[in-house]
Amino acid sequence: MAAADFLVTLAIFLALSSSFCYAYDVDPLQDFCVAVADNLTAVFVNGKICKNPKQVTPDDFLASGFNIPGNTNNSLGFATNMADANRIPGLNTLGLTVLRVDFAPNGVVPPHTHPRSTEIIVLLEGTLYAGFVTSNPRDNTKNRLFAKILKPGDVFVFPIGLVHFLRNVGNTKAMGIVAFNSQNPGVITIANSVFGTEPLISPEVLTKSFQLDKKVIDYLQSRF
């Protein structure tokens, strides 16, 4: 019986261990795996197919233009400039994405989540109000908000999967550099995912969930 119990325990441990291993991007198994352009392949993989190492050049590890401000002339007042494996093929399999984010005065990155990555921002210009909200507590108390006013030189972390936001609270533009510990962090903007789906979520679901009149739900859905 002892041997049987040990084997059952070992099987459970291995099953759990395998699930933990895939919680984040897998570690690279070679020096680099420079991505082949998607339009040159007919194979879908979790990541990108590697270029022949003998054909790799320094340009495969370079992106330029992060010194150029983004166009923030839009309804939210922010713009991003992303460097991922599509732009820097040498990032393939390295579990990293970097972007520059620019804010107009009062610009907002609305509440959203990244299902596959933790996010960290280094503020270089301006003043931002940044925060994230915890997952639902088991004791039915309110979700906690962790928020700070960021100034140039400040670094702030948004834990993986949690709803978070950024707003420029200064009178001038703001700019920061953001990094994700994933090749493909993903993004789920809360308002779009609730009110802007195709087809639309049934208004009966949303009126009950948000305790709002159907006319309000109809208006919100029309905005997204």
Share of the chain above pLDDT 90, in %: 76
Residue 180 pairs with which residues in a beta bridge?
Answer: 97, 119
Higher-pLDDT residue of 182 and 6 is 182
H or E element at residue 149: strand 145-150
**Residue type (1 letter), 119:** E
Asked whether the predicted pLDDT for residue 120 surpasses 50, the reply is yes
For the chain, the C-alpha Rg in angstroms (whole number) is: 22
Write out pLDDT tens, residues 15-48: 544 444 445 677 766 777 888 876 656 566 667 8
Q: Is 164 annotated as a binding residue?
A: yes
Write out pLDDT tens, residues 173-224: 999 999 999 999 999 999 999 999 999 999 999 999 999 999 999 999 999 9
Higher-pLDDT residue of 32 and 171 is 171
Asked whether the predicted pLDDT for residue 148 surpasses 90, the reply is yes
The predicted pLDDT at position 82 comes to 97
Q: Is 204 annotated as a binding residue?
A: no
Where do the domains of the chain lie, and which CATH numbers do they carry? 38-186 (2.60.120.10), 193-223 (no CATH)
Q: Is 35 left (phi over 0), alpha (psi -120 to 50) or beta?
A: beta
Give the residue-averaged pLDDT of 134-150: 95
Give the residue-averaged pLDDT of 108-122: 97
The predicted pLDDT at position 48 comes to 86
The predicted pLDDT at position 25 comes to 72
Q: Is 112 annotated as a binding residue?
A: yes
Give the residue-averaged pLDDT of 166-175: 98
The predicted pLDDT at position 49 comes to 87
Average pLDDT, the chain: 89
Write out pLDDT tens, residues 74-91: 999 999 999 999 999 999
Q: Is 198 annotated as a binding residue?
A: no
Per DSSP (E only), the strands in 32-125 are: 78-83, 97-103, 108-113, 119-125
